[in-house]
Amino acid sequence: MSRISSGGFAKRITMRLQEKYKKNILPKLKSKFSYKNDFEAPCLEKVVVNVGFGRHNKEKAYIDNVVKSLTRITGQKPILTKAKKSIASFKIREGMTIGACVILRGSRMYDFVEKFVNVTFPRVRDFRGISEKHVDENGNMTIGIKEHIVFPEINVDEIDNVFGLEVSLATTAKTKESGLELFRLMGFPFKKEENK
CA separation for the pair 140, 169 (Å, rounded) = 6
Work out the average pLDDT over 136-142: 95
What is the residue range of 68's domain?
6-185
Does 103 fall in a domain? yes
In a domain, 157, yes or no: yes
Distance CA 115, CA 131 (A): 20
Is 94 part of any domain? yes
Closest CA to 142 of 122, 170, 118: 170
pTM reported for the whole predicted model: 0.82
Q: pLDDT for 28-76, tens place per residue?
A: 999 999 999 889 999 999 999 999 988 887 788 888 999 999 999 999 9
Structural domain contains residue 144: yes
Residue by residue, DSSP assigns 47-102 as: EEEEEE-GGGTT-HHHHHHHHHHHHHHHSSPPEEEE-SS-BGGGTB-TT-EEEEEE
Whether residue 21 lies inside any domain: the answer is: yes
Question: Residue 194: inside a domain, yes or no?
Answer: no
Q: Total structural domains in the chain?
A: 1
Domain harbouring 35, CATH code: 3.30.1440.10
Domain presence at residue 191: no
- Please check whether residue 192 lies inside any domain of the structure: no
8 A C-beta contact, residue 50 and residue 101: yes
Question: Which whole-number Å values give the CA distances from 120 to 65, 106, 149, in the listed order?
Answer: 20, 20, 9
Cα 19 off chain centre by: 20
The confidence score (pLDDT) of residue 47 equals: 96
